[in-house]
């Protein structure tokens, strides 16, 4: 009896400090202060539209904004360092775009980044770079004196090559890259240009890491089918790889939405939930066309089968036929000598 009492007493004596220790250890992790899953933090409402302006400014997060107008979307990042602009719209809209940018910041435009070489993405380079300043020279000269020619314009080298081929003499990229990624640091956050071909051979995603915002260019255009510019280095394989790369870069906050926001080349502000739907669509249509190609069907037979019919009602029959033809050609034509290849990230 005495032994039993001694035994249980000893166990209790040993257990009490352990219990106290467990309680101490458990406090930071189970103190009842943890919050349940919350609705994701979504962007605030758009700014009031200026009278007569075709643009709508959508705040995205922090100092980032999507300016959406009749043409390609523009991502603007503002801060103490100045203004960074991703894509510049068509040439004729530069003045209107600048007016909208000035609603967000009076500071100099320090960087222009281009996601591809299409006229609706680079057309405003001339108009906007002319009023900007190189950040490296901003403190060295009196007010009113422009930088060393113009605002630095960053893009993949294929963008510059293509613009030169098309005879452009101004608005060309001044800083190009040919590797997988080019990084700068601006307005307190890392900014990466990530090579992501598919629409053309020179597409870039632009990722603002602290803002957690990505400009996708024409690698993601939710209001239309992808445009595979096969004569400019585009391909369906690279396009799908880049879409999946974009998904790998985005992280939803809760309920498969929020978190990383994506400014598409055209269409609505998005998150991973939208891109996944778009990726599914491109994959489905690709898989259907590929199955028909593998059976030896001609392009006419494939188009007659209408493998994009469930999405043509979203976009258009004509656009669907064009997209199917681009996929068919991309799958059947020999790859260009310098066609981009990209590994899909795990």
Partner 1 sequence: MTATHPHARRRSGSRACVPDKATARPLVPGWTGTAPTHAPLPACSTDGTSSAGWHRSTRSLRRLILLLCLPLAGLGANPAWAQSDIVGEWEHRQHEDRNERGAGPDIGEYEGLPINGAARYHAERWSPSLWTVPEHQCIPHPADYGPNFSSVRIWKDVNPLTQEVVAYHTNIAWNNPVRTIWMDGRPHPPANALHTWEGFSTGRWDGDRLVVTTTHMKPAYLRRNGLPRSETAVLTEYFIRTGDFLTWVSVIVDPVYLTEPIIRSRDFHLNPGYQVELYPCSIDVEVPRPAGEVPSYVDGNPDIRQYAEEYALPWEAVQGGAATMYPEFIATMGQVAPAQEGGE
User: Min. distance of Cβ 213 from partner 1 in angstroms?
Assistant: 12
- Taking CB under 8 A as the criterion, the residue among 272, 326, 327, 328 binding partner 1 is 272
- Taking CB under 8 A as the criterion, the residue among 129, 244, 303, 330 binding partner 1 is 244
330 close to 233: Cβ distance less than 8 angstroms = no
Part in contact with partner 1 (CB under 8 A); list of ranges 75-83, 151-159, 195-203, 277-285: 277-285
Q: How far are the Cα atoms of 37, 59, 323 from residue 306, in angstroms, in the given order? A: 43, 39, 11
Residue 30 interacts with partner 1 (CB under 8 A): yes or no: no
Residues 6+ apart with CB under 8 A from 257: 40, 271, 272, 273
Part in contact with partner 1 (CB under 8 A); list of ranges 5-13, 24-32, 90-98, 307-315: 307-315
At 160, which helix (H) or strand (E)? helix 157-165
Residue 214 interacts with partner 1 (CB under 8 A): yes or no: no
Residue 19 interacts with partner 1 (CB under 8 A): yes or no: no
Residue 58 interacts with partner 1 (CB under 8 A): yes or no: yes
Q: Which residues pair with 263 in a beta bridge?
A: 215
- Taking CB under 8 A as the criterion, the residue among 30, 165, 170, 287 binding partner 1 is 287
Residue 43 interacts with partner 1 (CB under 8 A): yes or no: yes
Distance in angstroms (rounded) separating the CA atoms of residues 335 and 146? 44
C-beta of 133 vs 276, nearer to partner 1: 276
User: Min. distance of Cβ 38 from partner 1 in angstroms?
Assistant: 8
C-beta of 300 vs 310, nearer to partner 1: 310
And the tokens for 81?
């360092």
Residue 36 interacts with partner 1 (CB under 8 A): yes or no: yes
User: Min. distance of Cβ 74 from partner 1 in angstroms?
Assistant: 12
Residue 205 interacts with partner 1 (CB under 8 A): yes or no: no
Residues 6+ apart with CB under 8 A from 122: 87, 88, 114, 116, 155, 159, 163, 171
Distance in angstroms (rounded) separating the CA atoms of residues 301 and 296? 10
And the tokens for 157?
């080298």
User: Min. distance of Cβ 67 from partner 1 in angstroms?
Assistant: 10
C-beta of 38 vs 341, nearer to partner 1: 38
List, in sequence order, every beta strand (DSSP E) within 147-274: 153-156, 175-177, 181-186, 189-195, 204-208, 213-217, 261-264
User: Min. distance of Cβ 185 from partner 1 in angstroms?
Assistant: 27
At 82, which helix (H) or strand (E)? strand 82-86
And the tokens for 282?
């491109």
- For binding to partner 1 (CB under 8 A), which residues are involved? 36-39, 42-43, 45-46, 49, 56, 58, 66, 68, 73, 222, 240-241, 244, 247, 252, 255-257, 261, 267-274, 276-277, 279-280, 283-284, 287-288, 291, 309-314, 344-346
């Amino acid at each position: 009896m005495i032994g039993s009492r001694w035994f249980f007493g000893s166990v209790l004596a040993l257990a009490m400090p352990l219990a106290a220790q467990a309680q101490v250890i458990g406090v930071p992790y189970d103190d009842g202060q943890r919050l349940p899953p919350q609705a994701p933090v979504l962007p605030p409402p758009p700014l009031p539209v200026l009278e007569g302006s075709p643009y709508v400014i959508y705040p995205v997060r922090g100092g980032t904004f999507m300016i959406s107008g009749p043409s390609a979307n523009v991502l603007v990042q503002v801060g103490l360092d100045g203004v960074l602009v991703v894509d510049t719209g068509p040439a004729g809209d530069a003045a209107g775009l600048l007016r909208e940018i000035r609603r967000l910041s009076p500071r100099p435009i320090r960087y222009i980044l281009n996601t591809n070489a299409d006229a609706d993405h680079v057309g405003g380079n001339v108009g906007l770079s002319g009023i900007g300043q190189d950040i490296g020279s901003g403190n060295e000269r009196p007010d009113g004196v422009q930088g060393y020619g113009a605002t630095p314009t960053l893009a993949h080298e294929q963008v510059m090559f293509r613009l030169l081929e098309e005879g452009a003499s101004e608005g060309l990229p001044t800083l190009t890259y040919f590797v997988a990624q080019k990084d700068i640091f601006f307005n307190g956050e890392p900014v990466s240009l990530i090579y992501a071909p598919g629409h053309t051979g020179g597409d870039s995603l632009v990722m603002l890491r602290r803002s957690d915002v990505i400009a996708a260019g024409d690698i993601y255009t939710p209001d239309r089918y992808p445009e595979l510019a096969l004569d400019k280095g585009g391909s369906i394989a690279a396009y799908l790889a880049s879409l999946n790369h974009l998904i790998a870069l985005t992280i939803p906050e809760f309920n498969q939405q929020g978190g990383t926001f994506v400014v598409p080349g055209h269409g609505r502000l998005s998150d991973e939930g939208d891109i996944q739907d778009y990726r599914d669509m491109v994959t489905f249509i690709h898989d259907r066309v590929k199955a028909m190609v593998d059976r030896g069907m001609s392009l006419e037979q494939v188009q007659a089968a209408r493998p994009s019919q469930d999405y043509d009602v979203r976009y258009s029959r004509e656009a669907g036929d064009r997209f199917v033809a681009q996929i068919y050609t991309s799958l059947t034509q020999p790859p260009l000598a310098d066609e981009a290849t990209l590994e899909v990230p795990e």
